[in-house]
Each structure stands twice: as C-alpha cells, then as structure tokens.
C-alpha cells in the first residue's frame, strides 16, 4: 500500500495557490488595461493586434511554453537581462510558472474585461468628463463600479486558468518537487509513477478549489416562496 506524506501532498497545492494568486493579480491588471484601451481607442490594425492578444487561447500550451522558453532562455536578450537584474535565470523557477500562467490566462481575462467595458454606456463617462473629471477618475468612479461583476469574473477566470495550467508550465518551470511542482504536473507524475492514491487526492483538491471558484462567480437569484 502506498502511503501519502502530508508534506508531499500539501506542497504542490500551496505552490499552485501562490502561483495562481500572483499571476491572477498581474493578468487582471494587464488584461484590464489592454481591454480598456482596445475598447476605447479605435486605430488602424486593431484586428491584427487583438488577434495576437488572443492567440494563447487557441495555441497548444506546449507551443506557448516553447515560445516562452526561447524568449526567456539564457541565450535571449530578455533572458540575459533577467539574469543580470536578478542574478539568476528565471527558467525552472516558480516565477516561470507565474509567467506561463499569465500568458495562457490573459485571453480569458482580456475578453471578459473587454465585454464589461463595452457594456458601459459612453454617455455616463462623457457626462463625468464634462463635469471636469480626469480620465482615471472616470474609470475609478464610473466605469469600474458599473462592471464590478466582470472584474470579479475576469479575476476568477484568470485564477482558475492559472491553477490548471500544465503544458506551458512544464516547459519553462519543469517539475521540481517543493520548488516548481504545481498540482497539474504533480498529478501527471503521480499517474506516470503508478501512485494512484496520491493522484486522486490531488485531483480531489483541484476539483474542490475549482468548484468553489465557479460557485463564487455563478449568477444566483434569490428564490421566492409563495
């Protein structure tokens, strides 16, 4: 009978939650700013730019991971810059898992936020501007309160997508126990090594977390009883 150690079980869960929390904050900011700009500023070539932003949604995660590996590797200028600034390569660190999660979850967050911005009547924003409000004040006090549900949904989607990311994470962060091993990669290795009980425990954990995330954003109406 295969025994399950607590530290072995909890480590991928803690790391996955840490990666998802950090990546979801960054991707919400990046996706929100990009969605706001794209929704409010028409320009030539907008369709091409938006297609590029949405590419990670349809590309295989391993392709995304390979591109990130080339861009952030030690031989690239970005990799050399990161190594110069932080005195180590970002490849095969938990930071690489954060980057992978940001890239693959960006399209979901961007699309959700863009839909939210598009739903806001420009008359409200123009009225605020006519009364002397600056652009950041319009966004802070008019736009964001009107799309708060879209913001929450975008964050949850970004968190959940980052939590379930496997292919790109495995390519650039690897599967180092207690360092870069997230829940999806841990489940894969457990199945490959024949440790079914541990794989089921991790599967149950990620199912519970995912259920809670979806439950939070699910629209619910108060039931009326006659």
pLDDT, greater one: 181 or 225: 181
Q: Which two tokens stand for residue 10?
A: 């909890």
Given this model, what pLDDT does residue 226 score?
A: 40
Given this model, what pLDDT does residue 40 score?
A: 81
Mean pLDDT score of the chain, rounded to an integer? 88
The full set of domains in the chain, from first to last, is 6-216 (1.10.3720.10)
Please check the confidence at residue 224 and state whether its pLDDT lies above 50. Answer: no
C-alpha dihedral sign at 62, 191, 161, 11: negative
Whether 104 contacts 61, CB under 8 Å: yes
Given this model, what pLDDT does residue 225 score?
A: 41
Residues 123-153 pLDDT 10s: 888 888 888 888 888 888 888 888 998 999 8
Please state the pTM of the whole predicted model. Answer: 0.88
Given this model, what pLDDT does residue 2 score?
A: 56
Q: Can you list the alpha helix ranges (DSSP code H) found in 73-182?
A: 77-86, 94-118, 122-130, 135-138, 144-146, 148-163, 167-172
Given this model, what pLDDT does residue 223 score?
A: 46
Residue with token string 């619910």:
220
Given this model, what pLDDT does residue 194 score?
A: 86
Distance between CA atoms of residues 129 and 40, nearest Å: 14
Distance between CA atoms of residues 41 and 219, nearest Å: 31
pLDDT, greater one: 28 or 79: 28
Given this model, what pLDDT does residue 13 score?
A: 93
Distance between CA atoms of residues 40 and 60, nearest Å: 30
Q: Determine whether 217 is exposed, middle or buried from the number of CB atoms within 10 Å of its CB (0-12, 13-18, 19+).
A: middle
C-alpha dihedral sign at 50, 52, 56, 58: positive
């Amino acid at each position: 009978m295969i025994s399950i150690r607590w530290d072995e079980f909890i480590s991928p869960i803690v790391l996955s939650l840490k990666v998802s929390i950090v990546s979801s904050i960054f991707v919400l900011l990046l996706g929100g700013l990009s969605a706001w700009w794209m929704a409010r500023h028409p320009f030539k070539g907008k369709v091409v730019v938006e297609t590029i932003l949405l590419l990670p949604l349809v590309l295989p995660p391993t392709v995304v991971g390979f591109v990130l590996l080339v861009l952030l590797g030690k031989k690239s200028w970005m990799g050399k810059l990161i190594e110069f600034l932080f005195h180590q390569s970002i490849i095969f660190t938990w930071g690489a898992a954060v980057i992978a999660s940001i890239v693959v979850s960006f399209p979901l967050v961007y699309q959700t936020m863009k839909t939210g911005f598009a739903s806001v009547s420009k008359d409200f924003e123009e009225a605020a501007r006519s009364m002397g409000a600056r652009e950041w004040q319009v966004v802070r006090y008019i736009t964001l309160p009107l799309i708060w549900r879209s913001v929450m949904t975008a964050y949850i989607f970004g968190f959940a997508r980052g939590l379930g990311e496997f292919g790109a994470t495995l390519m650039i962060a690897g599967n180092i126990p207690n360092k870069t091993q997230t829940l999806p990669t841990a489940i894969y290795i457990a199945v490959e090594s024949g440790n079914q009980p541990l794989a089921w425990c991790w599967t149950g954990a990620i199912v519970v977390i995912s259920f809670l995330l979806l439950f939070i954003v699910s629209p619910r109406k108060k039931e009326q009883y006659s």
